[in-house]
Amino acid sequence: MASDVIKVEDMTVTYNDGTTAVDNVSLSINQGTFFGFLGPNGAGKTTLVKTLATLLKPTSGSITINGYDTVTDPRKVRESIGYMPQRTSVDEELTARENLLFACDAYNVPSGEQVSRVDELLDLVQLKDVADKRAEAFSGGMQKRLDAATALVHQPPLVFLDEPTTGLDPAARQKLWDYFQRINNAGTTFFLTTQYLEEADKLCDDIAVMQTGDILVRDSPKALKQRVGGDIIGVETSQAEAAAQAIQDAFDATIQTEDNTVSITVRNASKVVTDILIVLRDNDISIQNLSIREPTLDDVFLALTNT
């Protein structure tokens, strides 16, 4: 039976100004899980992650990470995790290689393994060609990649990734995804917060959605998408508001409008789409494009958070 690498019981985090960022959350995550944590800005995601990583203390409740209590044994917790924050934390005065070697020393990586470990990670994040240049000369994306390598240098059993691929180009993002999946398959547990819902869908086998300090729902990506309740018909039209109203009057469906696109969630879309076109025609509404697709995590996110 897999053991819990993260166990949170009734955790609340309240700031000095009285704001409750995390409200009585309980959460357990098994070893080897790739866990995704989603929510709109201000939901409390980063506060929760910082508290799990011992950067903040809970106001109440208890947290155990890899068997260590975050309040009574924070040093042991920090030694057993990797943490990649939203903002890069590399030392700009050091080269890429020096940053990683410094991290190796900080995490007590055996000296005989440090050179090969650093070379592997530099290659992973595509910084091998600039390994001996100071990080102050790096772009934001390059520093982000170096930060990712630093979080992984001691091969921790649990890694927190807070928006890990923001600012990366698609090729670099895909390479990190591949590496994360490879070491996850080997047993490393990941706790991921991300704005890229495609990223969560691709990587995660377990996802929770947070809003205003509380967890709204938790399930597999597939099960979450099934909650949307059907297929999505997309209608692109310059008369989006009128189209949405006409469809709402005629059908029992969930409808969302964004710019010039009306999204209609229905069951058996192939059977309903002709009737929708007739309704639009009868209301003198012209369309530029029409599509039918399965729901995505974006649809789940919008439906749950009303954003």
pLDDT at 261 over 70: yes
Residue the block writes with tokens 């989006």: 240
Phi, psi of 228 (to 5 degrees): -60, -30
pLDDT grade for 294, boundaries at 50, 70 and 90: confident
SS3 label, residue 43 = coil
Residue the block writes with tokens 């930060």: 147
Fold of 226-305: Alpha-Beta Plaits (3.30.70)
Q: Which part of the chain has CATH 3.30.70.120? A: 226-305
The two tokens of residue 71 are: 């309040």
Residue 143 near residue 87 (C-beta atoms within 8 A)? no
Angle at 191 between CA 48 and CA 213, to 5 degrees: 25
HSE-up (13 A, CA, CB side) for residue 195? 11
Mean pLDDT of the chain: 90
Predicted confidence at residue 297, as pLDDT, reads 82
Q: Which part of the chain has CATH 3.40.50.300? A: 4-223
Residue the block writes with tokens 């205003």: 212
pLDDT grade for 163, boundaries at 50, 70 and 90: confident
> Which superfamily is assigned to 4-223 in CATH?
P-loop containing nucleotide triphosphate hydrolases (3.40.50.300)
pLDDT grade for 307, boundaries at 50, 70 and 90: low
Helices (H) and strands (E) in the chain, counts: 11, 14
Q: State how far the Cα of 221 lies from the Cα of 301, in Å rounded to an integer.
A: 11
The two tokens of residue 248 are: 């709402």
Q: State how far the Cα of 10 lies from the Cα of 227, in Å rounded to an integer.
A: 27
> Cα separations (Å) of 224 from 18, 36, 75, 116, 265?
33, 12, 36, 41, 15
Residue 200 near residue 297 (C-beta atoms within 8 A)? yes
Residue 73 near residue 21 (C-beta atoms within 8 A)? no
pLDDT at 306 over 70: no
pLDDT grade for 1, boundaries at 50, 70 and 90: very low
What is the strand order of the sheet 261-266 is part of?
Answer: 254-258, 261-266, 231-236, 289-293
Highest mean pLDDT among 92-96, 172-176, 257-261: 92-96
